[in-house]
Amino acid sequence: MTRPIALYVHWPFCRSKCAYCAFNSVVRVLSRTQESAWVQAFLSSFDWHIQHILEGHTASYRPISLFFGGGTPSLLQPESLQQLISHMCALWSCQAESLEITLEANPETLTEERLQAFSQAGVNRLSLGIQALHPQDLAMLGRRHSLEQALQAVAWARNHIPNYNLDFIYHRPRQSLRAWRQELQHILALDAPHLSLYELTWEPGTPFALHQKELPATAAFFNLTHRVMQEAGYTAYEISNFCTPAHFCRHNLAYWRYQEYLGIGPGAHSRVEREGQRWALAAFAHGSAWRTSVARGTGGLATQSLLSPREQLIEHLCMGLRLEEGLCWDQLEHSAGPTEVAMLRHSPYLQKLQTLGVLLVTQQGARVSQENRAKVDGVLRYLDL
């Protein structure tokens, strides 16, 4: 039987750094020659991982998705994306149409022609980073695009890659609940099949962290967002992700369901099973260290470590409890083993959360109740694993 696997490519380059960003990205504009050399390194790293991590057993796996994230992968030439997609499909003898192929994109990097070319290269899902519908907030966030460019990109996406997501950030500095409620109505008017609505996180070391004291933590923004989205008919299938029917992101669901995934590129992570054991892999985060490792024939891989049953239990819970569907005991047992799962199910902390109605526990699995979904992180801390 084949096992599903999600594939990720991390393109680490951006034109500038957004004020809130803690992703592994660097500001650099590549020439065509430099881009081509990077693409070759990605192809080599893919081959290396197939040989040394999956041990050539591509036939044991069924790729479900290919996700180009970053950084700003929409800076790539469509021909480069085509090369990467074709190579991956050739390795797995699969058709691009059978996969969910997502490209993260910033509006200012798109033209209608480029979007069409991305679609022809095999991209069938677009994730547009818009973040705000107010010009002054776009400037404050350090975004390079105007509101007009963002709205134009949405119109092109609708025509050429209709399976698209829009990313927004809420609870921004000086944003009131009332202002966010109004902005949400404008977002809903865009009629996107999928929306990622993230509460701003104050990443240490970013210019934004300086504002943190201005905004007390509150569940009000989270609860308002969920209420409005539910009324509009979107499913909150994950705490920050909302979709209309049949528009789940298959790639991200693989992470949240704790399935296997293989990440290629600087700073990319992977989780793969070998001989019944689960391994955590991390690539060199720095671009030059990653390129050196690829050139030396070690694939860009910095570390690989075997995960203990307890580590798998924690990772699986952290992912699965974010989902509306929650987690399934059988799948948790598959990763963490029966002993850890039995201990969890008999834990007084879990039973207390169940009594309080925070966790809904059945014979099949467990999930956080709708009214407590803002508290997922607190639930995990309370379980004291």
Name the site residues for ligand SF4 (rule: CB under 6 A).
14, 17-18, 21, 23, 25, 70-72, 106, 129
Question: C-beta of 224: minimal distance to ligand SF4 in Å?
Answer: 24
Q: Which is nearer to ligand SF4, 17 or 269 (CB)?
A: 17
Nearest CA among 271, 262, 245, 374 for reference residue 322: 374
CB-CB contact of 301 with 263 (8 Å): no
Question: C-beta of 108: minimal distance to ligand SF4 in Å?
Answer: 10
- Torsion sign across C-alpha atoms 231, 236, 241, 247: negative
Q: Which is nearer to ligand SF4, 123 or 323 (CB)?
A: 123
Question: C-beta of 214: minimal distance to ligand SF4 in Å?
Answer: 21
Question: C-beta of 23: minimal distance to ligand SF4 in Å?
Answer: 4
Residue 353, CB half-sphere, CA atoms under 13 Å: how many?
25
Question: C-beta of 69: minimal distance to ligand SF4 in Å?
Answer: 9
d(CA 220, CA 105): 30
Query: How far is the CA of 193 from the CAs of 120, 126, 245, 312, 361, in angstroms?
Result: 21, 11, 8, 33, 31
Q: Which is nearer to ligand SF4, 65 or 131 (CB)?
A: 131
Kindly state the helix (H) or strand (E) to which residue 27 belongs, with its residue range.
strand 26-27
Q: Which is nearer to ligand SF4, 14 or 99 (CB)?
A: 14
Q: Which is nearer to ligand SF4, 106 or 312 (CB)?
A: 106
List of long-range contacts for 301-306, beta carbons under 8 Å, 24+ apart: 301/48, 301/49, 301/53, 304/53, 304/279, 304/280, 305/279, 305/280, 306/277, 306/278, 306/279
d(CA 333, CA 364): 12
Q: Which is nearer to ligand SF4, 141 or 154 (CB)?
A: 141
Nearest CA among 369, 374, 377, 358 for reference residue 221: 374
DSSP string of 90-139?
A: HHHT--GGGSEEEEEE-GGG--HHHHHHHHHHT--EEEEEEE-SSHHHHH
Question: C-beta of 169: minimal distance to ligand SF4 in Å?
Answer: 9
Q: Which is nearer to ligand SF4, 25 or 259 (CB)?
A: 25
d(CA 278, CA 275): 8
Question: C-beta of 119: minimal distance to ligand SF4 in Å?
Answer: 21
Q: Which is nearer to ligand SF4, 17 or 158 (CB)?
A: 17
Q: Which is nearer to ligand SF4, 70 or 263 (CB)?
A: 70
Question: C-beta of 34: minimal distance to ligand SF4 in Å?
Answer: 18
Provide the token pair at 279: 């391994």
Question: C-beta of 38: minimal distance to ligand SF4 in Å?
Answer: 16
Question: Across-strand partners of 79?
Answer: none
Tokens 């694993």 appear where? 385
